[in-house]
Chains A and B, each alone.
Chain A
């Protein structure tokens, strides 16, 4: 019983991590219609900034707060300089952001080398419930994921910023005619998605360590999750990430990890083939 509980917790916390990583990816894909291949590298940057803060002797929390801010600002600049030119063609956007990701990844590799750098958990130890011990930090990640999800939802559905964002998504030219600065909205959306990736990187670095291919590890998983969930809505990618994250954490408990890993992807692709709109068909946010 205790084992089952620990297993369920592990699975849940991994699902939360994937949701956190996919949230920004899904927002950018849904809002702007491009699949950002550099998103994994934004996660990597968030992790790297947190590590830098830690290595300089600052509190880890400071690094974790700085990560989304810095990565978000970088996202805003990159959108204005480069990403903006790709909106006309989704495939070109994939290639362009792939090149961008390559540059960031190799730059970080140059800075840290091939090492696995570790950052301690800001909240160490475990939460004990009777004889069961669960990692306090992983529990915190689950809580933060829920808070971030709620925050994103409120931001998109209850604020005027969210309204402008959704208007731009629904009909860019009409939004422009109504006085919304659509280029600014695109920039803000991309920055927001990047900031979420930065935050995800900051939160997961104590769990996965820091290495150059950290972002790459989650990239394909993220894309598949977005497609499974359904592009074009806020909740779709989150649901997809939950399903994919949970499956890829749960299946290794019952079969060989490699088989499980491959099976998740095969199932996902078959699912998308027969239900291209995803779990939750997009109706805007």
Chain B
């Protein structure tokens, strides 16, 4: 699997309130949540970001709440993945369960700037910065996780497994 998109750079400790403020958690509709994605970090983000774009952030992305609405809003807003130096524990687990691709890459987190065009080779764990020509490394996503992402998350995955029995 290969992805290509423009990078949007955020800092360290982007919390779940910044990703999707609690005032919008009166709904779990992905489209509604997508409309407010990253709103308190950058109020214009949803207008500026295009389908397939990539969030790049520093340490501890997704710290704070257990709300799955956070990865849901990022995915529903059309972002293809999040690359960060590191992720908060609950967010990490939720992202895979929701079918949002996330990649840890301290190299990419240190170097990538907003506007850089990135190409991500998910199988090989290589991130290519098409703007600067730099290459960064991340762990390849194992086949099980890729399958989880392909079907759209843990529950569709479980359903597919059940129907195959």
Same complex for A and B? Answer no
